[in-house]
Amino acid sequence: MILFFTPHQGLEESMSRFYIASIVLALEYLHDNSIAFRDLKPENVLIDAQGYVKLGDFGFAKMVETGGRTYTFCGTPGYVAPENVMGRGYNHSVDWWTLGVLMYVLLTARQPFTSPKTQDPMEVMRRIVDERWPIKYPPYMSEEATDLISKLLERKPVKRIGMLQGKARDIKQHPWFAGFDWEGLAARRIDPPRKPKESDSAKRKSELAEAHRGEPKEPPPATAQEMAEWDRMFRDF
């Protein structure tokens, strides 16, 4: 995703809503198929020619069966969930946490646990797991957005929105999405807030290529067969 906002403030909430909602649908779909995406961040959110969202880079995606857990430490330092840092096993709960980080980044153009002064990954991860470390919400952020982000950035996975009885539905029914046309989005009937220009997609490609260079990936990149499988799953998305 090209972060097309000013340096000090993020996207307008009404615009962000479309992108966050699209990712909610994608994650819900993956989770219903027992897949944890595990590496949600702006670089992996792609915008197609019509302006709709696609998740890209399934290098970290993994099948996690109900009741199963996975232990690999992976993700991106500012985005990793506390249960991933702790190394005691986790499941798709990490995706709802990273959605909270991504939403924060979209609305503020800053990361919740990283600052220009504090980029040391160990310190960032200490903040992520520390229940007492307060996340700062800027005053221009709406009450509803602040509430939703704080429920996604709930450090205990069992209490995190998305992991409760209503699962993804709890997120869709959160007041931040009041009046949002979820069915229209799933059917690609609503107008994306922004359609990429040709020049953007050329830029996007080179940014992606850059991001991949020299970045060790674990598990190893997907096979052609897995890629075909994901293409099939995302055909309608």
Ligand X SMILES: *[C@@H]1O[C@H](CO)[C@@H](O)[C@H](O)[C@H]1NC(C)=O
Q: Return residues touching ligand X (CB under 6 A).
A: 66-67, 91, 93, 157-158
Contact status, residue 43 vs residue 1, Cβ threshold 8 Å? yes
Q: How far is CA 171 from the centre of its chain?
A: 13
**Active-site choice (32, 39, 95, 236):** 39
Catalytic, 39? Answer yes
- Helix 93-108 and helix 143-152, axial crossing angle in degrees, nearest 10: 150
Which lies closer to ligand X via its Cβ, residue 155 or residue 188?
Answer: 155
Instruction: Provide the minimum distance between the beta carbon of 47 and ligand X in the complex, in angstroms, as a whole number.
Output: 30
Which lies closer to ligand X via its Cβ, residue 100 or residue 157?
Answer: 157
Alpha-carbon dihedral sign for residues 234, 175, 166, 40: positive
Number of other residues whose CB lies within 10 A of the CB of residue 206: 9
Instruction: Provide the minimum distance between the beta carbon of 219 and ligand X in the complex, in angstroms, as a whole number.
Output: 20
DSSP string, 123-163: HHHHHHH-TTSPPP--TTS-HHHHHHHHHHT-SSGGGSTTS
Instruction: Provide the minimum distance between the beta carbon of 220 and ligand X in the complex, in angstroms, as a whole number.
Output: 25
Q: If DSSP codes are grouped into helix, strand and coil, which group holds residue 84?
A: helix
Which lies closer to ligand X via its Cβ, residue 66 or residue 199?
Answer: 66
Which lies closer to ligand X via its Cβ, residue 106 or residue 163?
Answer: 163
Instruction: Provide the minimum distance between the beta carbon of 123 and ligand X in the complex, in angstroms, as a whole number.
Output: 25
Contacts of 197 by beta carbon, 8 Å cutoff, 6+ apart = none
Active site residues: 39
